[in-house]
Amino acid sequence: MAIFIDEKTRVMVQGITGNQGSFHTRQMLAYGTNIVAGVSPGKGGQEVEGVPVYDTAEAACEEQKPDASVLFVPAAFALDGALEALNAGMKVITPITEGIPVQDAAHLITNARTRGAVVVGPNTFGIVSSGKCKIGIMPNQFYVPGPVGVVARSGTLSYEIVANLKDAGYGTSTVVGLGGDRIVGLDFVDVLAQFEADGETELIVMVGEIGGTAEEEAARYIEKHVSKPVLAYLAGKSAPPGKRMGHAGAIIERGKGTFQAKVEALEAVGVKVAELPFQVPQLAKEILG
């Protein structure tokens, strides 16, 4: 079992003929992702790595029946592209794009929720169900099947932690990138609920960071609803208040979202918090053996 996507997921790539779209299409195909269509206005009839390209998502869906879409399109056009995918029936939308206006992101996420669809991101590295399907930009070699579910706000930190877990002999069930913007489609609670119900996930790892209250909300949810062990690593311990560190959502404002507050909230409900990324596999070994 996996969460959100699996080996049966049929993927559409929007912006497939661009540099990023074509490069990551090759990477996703190499991983084994079932990419059935691409979309690039004005490029219909072409192929990228054997994947047929269509002018519109509607045309792609009529012929290829995808159920998930990943967007490699400029921020100014991301909302239109994502809404087109939703209108065509996509159930999982993954906007890799950084810099989507807040109003556009809010409109997209609200629209998706009314349709029962999931938005992974925006400004995300994507989602991968290890050994089954990869939708995004994460490096292929680190994602091997195993019992650890990972949900992360940070892409590069999650790569490091997943690589360390793999080196220690622990693969991953699904790895979800929440995205680094202020408004994102999924939060920790959404993914924790899915991992709790997933029979293949035995241990959950949260990769958080300063800013916002997502980790504190996750702690409250864990206390009442999560029976599986949870580990965490939080970035931003030394960040000064008021300074954004990398992500739009990683900023301490009015005393909220501090590193210490997040650690205390998680530890209070039994979550072990690693001080450094390489300690996550050590803590996992204490739990999984």
Annotated catalytic residues are 247
Beta bridge partners of 203: 148
CA dist., res. 256 & res. 252, Å (int): 6
Token output for 98: 């950084």
Give the DSSP H/E element, type plus range, for residue 145: strand 145-152
Radius of gyration of the chain (CA): 18
Edge-to-edge strand ranges of the sheet holding 11-14 = 47-48, 51-54, 35-39, 11-14, 68-71, 92-95, 118-119
Who contacts 285 (Cβ-Cβ below 8 Å, separation ≥6)?
168
- Smallest CA-to-CA distance from 202 within 149, 166, 127, 164 is with 149
Give the DSSP H/E element, type plus range, for residue 285: helix 279-288
